[in-house]
Amino acid sequence: MLLFATAAIELLVVAIATAGFDEVAEASPFGRPATIVVAAVAAGIACVGAILAWLGVSGALRTITAVLVFVAVGVIAVMVLFFVIAGGTPIILGVLLAHAAFSLAMIGRAVLRSAPARTGR
């Protein structure tokens, strides 16, 4: 859950910064509205992935969740690249997004390693 908390906070900070600062919105590969949506959706995917990893799921649900989490990691990695290349203030958000991508990758790993709990948690 700690991985989810850090990833969600960092993604929401990027969404707020994109809404408030033109320099950040211009550095994003998706534009202002889509960057806000991508950050919010990635935070939601992180939440679902963390909960399902904690509960321990198996089968198709585990596979679909892991794929969604790793797709979100890829999209965030593209945003990191664009923010770092832009230079200036967006570099700070690129560092935040890099850590968020790492946290999401660890959530995806936890989902893949999760097993149904026999006694409950």
Can you give the pTM of this predicted structure? Answer: 0.87
User: What single-letter amino acid sits at 115?
Assistant: A
Q: How far apart are CA 91 and CA 80, in angstroms?
A: 8
Q: How far apart are CA 4 and CA 54, in angstroms?
A: 11
Per residue in 20-63, pLDDT tens? Answer: 999 999 999 998 999 999 999 999 999 999 999 998 888 889 89
pLDDT surpasses 60 at 120: no
